[in-house]
Amino acid sequence: MSNPKNNPKEPPRMEKADCTLKGREYPIRRRRVLTPGADGIIEFVVEAPLIARHAQVGQFVIVRTDETGERIPLTIAAYDGDEGTIHLIFQMVGHSTKRMGELLEGDTILDILGPLGTPIEVRKHEDPVVCIGGGVGIAPIWPKVKELYELGNHVITIIGARTKELLILEEELTAISSEIHVTTDDGSYGREGFVTSVLHEILEERKNRIAEVIAVGPLPMMEAVVKEMTGKGFRDRYDPATEYDPERVPCIVSLNPIMVDGTGMCGGCRVNIWNPRKGEYQAQFSCVDGPAFDGYAVDFAGLTRRNRQYSSQERQADQHGTGSGSGAGQEEGV
């Protein structure tokens, strides 16, 4: 996996002819079941040479498996410009992702649009970097951990899942982490509890001498990480409008709002981000301004409400085996 941002030779710019066209199919070269079951987590290695050549850390793609499928945003979990492949990891939690999970090695995906989003900044730090992944959110931290580690950073990785069976990529992340900590909610593997408990101990042990924290996972987990970084408990309230402090250890979160087109046209993925210079919340689009944002500035309450907007349609689609009709994807966080 190579990062064009760190290569001395600038990669060629994508031309209009390089964009994904409707009906172009992308072969699945390898398929791996990361966790079994009806709501299991699947990894595809897909042939997409143009995307692989231009992908950078933190970017994503939008996938449509067939003509009637919904548009699903998925993080580019890994990419190889030489092989021309990208890794996509998703959990079968809704109708569209369950249909995608039925695809086998040798099958094709109809549309893949990308790379999308703003790449995350990756550089060498003097102090350690903490990378936190929860559930299927472990997949998006994989490329971040790899790039940080290869730049010579001391990377402390914390991964957590509800149970041992839902834990993914432990072996891959162990190989590229200076330290790794594993938690499960039920204590079936690693340490019992949440990733924030480990983060709390690391902050105390190192007396906040941390370069930055990067967290990806369910919204409650990312909000809890932000609260931990501000010295608050999970049930405490944190208000960016009155408590934002630019002197805190940087805390980056990768958001997963409802998304439709992925290019900033629809506004479906807008999130409210506190602007301390202007003293007001400003709407930004996760697809073009993100998906990574300053965690201290995110309006998590508003984002949680927006993500529940199509809950009833999603349940109906799952029950009747049809698309939700919303056209919006939010089945796996980017």
pLDDT tens, per residue, the chain with 334 residues: 444 444 444 444 444 434 444 446 899 999 999 999 999 999 999 999 999 999 999 999 999 998 888 889 999 999 999 999 999 999 998 888 999 999 999 999 999 999 999 999 999 999 999 999 999 999 999 999 999 999 999 999 999 999 999 999 999 999 999 999 999 999 999 999 999 999 999 999 998 799 999 999 999 999 999 999 999 988 899 999 999 999 999 999 999 888 888 888 888 889 999 999 999 999 999 999 999 999 999 999 989 887 776 656 555 655 655 554 334 444 444 4
**CATH code of 25's domain:** 2.40.30.10
Residue at which a domain ends, from 90, 116, 142: 116
Same domain, 300 and 202: yes
Residue at which a domain ends, from 59, 89, 116: 116
Same domain, 104 and 148: no
Q: Is 225 within the bounds of a domain?
A: yes
Structure tokens at 24: 């172009």
Tell me, what's the pLDDT at 325? 38
Domain count, the chain: 2
Same domain, 245 and 280: yes
Same domain, 109 and 24: yes
Strands of 246-321, DSSP E: 251-254, 270-275, 280-285, 292-294
Q: Is 323 within the bounds of a domain?
A: no
Alpha carbons 207 and 48: distance in angstroms, whole number: 44
**CATH code of 252's domain:** 3.40.50.80
Same domain, 25 and 167: no
Alpha carbons 130 and 216: distance in angstroms, whole number: 12
Same domain, 30 and 151: no
Same domain, 280 and 135: yes
Q: Is 140 within the bounds of a domain?
A: yes
Q: Is 150 within the bounds of a domain?
A: yes
Same domain, 184 and 60: no
Nearby residues of 134 by Cβ (< 8 Å), 6 or more positions away: 159, 160, 161, 195, 215, 216, 217, 218, 221, 222
Answer whether 109's CB lies under 8 Å from 67's CB.
Answer: no
Q: Is 16 within the bounds of a domain?
A: yes
Bridge pairing between strands 179-184 and 155-161: parallel
Nearby residues of 167 by Cβ (< 8 Å), 6 or more positions away: 35, 138, 159, 160, 161, 182, 184, 189, 190
Q: Is 137 helix (H, G, I), strand (E, B) or coil?
A: helix
Answer whether 209's CB lies under 8 Å from 201's CB.
Answer: no
Q: Is 184 within the bounds of a domain?
A: yes
Alpha carbon of 272 to those of 1, 59, 269, 308, 333: distances in Å? Answer: 33, 20, 10, 16, 17
DSSP string of 58-116, one letter each residue:
T-EEEEE-STTPPPEEEEEEEEETTTTEEEEEEE--SHHHHHHHT--TT-EESEEEEEE
Tell me, what's the pLDDT at 319? 60
Q: Is 270 helix (H, G, I), strand (E, B) or coil?
A: strand
Answer whether 334's CB lies under 8 Å from 74's CB.
Answer: yes
pTM: 0.86
Q: Which of 326, 316, 334 is nearest to 95 (CA)?
A: 316
Residue at which a domain ends, from 95, 116, 137: 116
Same domain, 147 and 283: yes
Q: Which residues pair with 292 in a beta bridge?
A: 254
Q: Which of 89, 97, 33, 71 is nearest to 287 (CA)?
A: 71
Tell me, what's the pLDDT at 45? 98
Structure tokens at 262: 């992925």
Same domain, 173 and 215: yes
Q: Is 315 within the bounds of a domain?
A: no
Same domain, 89 and 153: no
H helices present in the chain, as ranges = 49-54, 95-101, 138-150, 170-174, 195-205, 219-229, 240-243, 300-307, 311-320
Tell me, what's the pLDDT at 1? 44
Q: Is 124 within the bounds of a domain?
A: no
Same domain, 111 and 137: no
Which secondary-structure segment (H or E) carries 215? strand 212-216
| Domain span at 178 | 129-307
Tell me, what's the pLDDT at 312? 61
- Cα end-to-end distance, the chain, whole Å: 19
Answer whether 281's CB lies under 8 Å from 244's CB.
Answer: no
